[in-house]
Structure 1
């Protein structure tokens, strides 16, 4: 099996990739600047960011397969990234309260040796319950919203806010495993 490099510092993505490959990958964090193009088409934004991360990491290797991803939450046509502070997290949680939102992930597989790359995106719909101010305060105080697109973690305490999911659950966590498996197969990489 070829060397696999995960271009992400996300512990969630690391855990998910480990489900597919065991410990047969390394992590190399990208220094790609994602920017804050809030007016972009969300699918275009995440695929561009994912591809940028993969290409930046590929500069450091002569061989191997780079896997990168970028996730945002879309709520009423507004792109929600990761909150920088408690006030921002509270604002995001109030926005998603009682709404159907979409977790949109761009994912790239880049084969350095063969100079081939595939970039796709995945969309998962989530229905968030109506959140009380107590829900918002308590959740922000837990610290979980930080580092999470949309300020909630469907795989953590944030699961208590998600009434229903339609689509790939793992996409809502940050790495769409079914899509990734298909992309790796398309590249000729068997897991």
Structure 2
């Protein structure tokens, strides 16, 4: 059975892969993501590629890297630097449709074969009242999340609509990760022919 390496320290990505039955090792990278400000959605894929390039080589296996950004009106809303910036992000998102992009990059060693994809989900917050923004800032750690919110947290109460992958907004679009990893011979343990009996 091939080894799977997740090039991410994200608790949400780790949780999603575990929840869906993948067996993997977490490895870190020194890559510094380019996150906030002007840019294009392609930045998510560029960051995923950068993480994959800089990942510690653990030998043969399949390496999965990803990056998620929130995109609104030509601006990338990365992880906010402080609570005031988080508050500003949530005010900007209020009542508007924004897009969550996740870049996925998968590389197999030693073959060098690569598979990449950029996944887009449209999300609309309803008009947020100031006390609701403060509630989101208090209940969820906004500094650890692109766009300052977690759809799986209290922010989910204020989402009016979503078009696309819910898991993409959480941080890893599992509907796209599954076929990408399957293409390299990696499947969840529950589906594996090599699962323990």
Shorter-chain TM-score bucket reads over 0.9
Task: Give the SS at the match of 1:21.
Answer: coil
Query: Aligned pair 1:170/2:167, yes or no?
Result: yes
**Does structure 2 conserve the Cα–Cα contact (< 8 Å) formed by 1:103 and 1:125?**
yes
Equivalent-residue separation in structure 1 for 2:91 and 2:20 (angstroms): 35
1:124-159: CA deviations, max 9, x gaps?
A: 111101111111122212342121111110011110
Alpha-carbon distance, 1:37 to partner = 6.6
Aligned-pair Cα RMSD in Å: 1.5
Hey, what's the Cα distance between the residues in 1 that align with 2:35 and 2:106?
A: 23
> 8 Å contact 1:102–1:124 — kept in the other structure?
yes
Match of 2:195 in 1: none
Question: Could you list the per-position Cα deviations for residues 16-71 of structure 1 after superposition, in whole angstroms to 9, with x for gaps in the alignment?
Answer: 1112334x1111122111124733321x10101001111211x4222111111100
Q: What corresponds to 1:10 in structure 2?
A: 10
- Paired residues of 1:108 and 1:117 also in contact (CA < 8 A): yes
Q: Please list the CA deviations of residues 154-188 of structure 1 after superposition, one character each: whole Å capped at 9, or x if unmatched.
A: 01111011111111110010101111112123334
Among 70, 73, 76, the residue aligned to 1:73? 70
CA gap of 1:36–1:125, structure 2 versus 1, over 3 A, is closer
Given that residues 103 and 124 in structure 1 are in contact (C-alpha distance below 8 angstroms), is that contact kept between their aligned partners in structure 2?
Answer: yes
Q: Is 1:46 aligned to residue 44 of structure 2?
A: yes
Q: Which of residues 127, 133, 136 is equivalent to 1:139?
A: 136
Partner Cα separation in structure 2 for residue 93 and residue 176 of structure 1? 23
Distance 1:189 1:14 in 2: 16
Residues 67-123 of structure 1 deviation map (CA, whole Å, 9 limit, x = unaligned): 111001111221111111100100000000000111100011111221111111100
Q: Which runs of 5+ in 2 are unaligned?
A: 189-197
Normalized against structure 1, the TM-score is what?
A: 0.92
What's the TM-score, normalizing by structure 2?
A: 0.89
Match of 2:152 in 1: 155
Structure 1: gaps of 5 or more residues: none
Determine the C-alpha separation between the residues in 2 that align with 1:115 and 1:12. Answer: 27
Aligned residues between the structures: 188
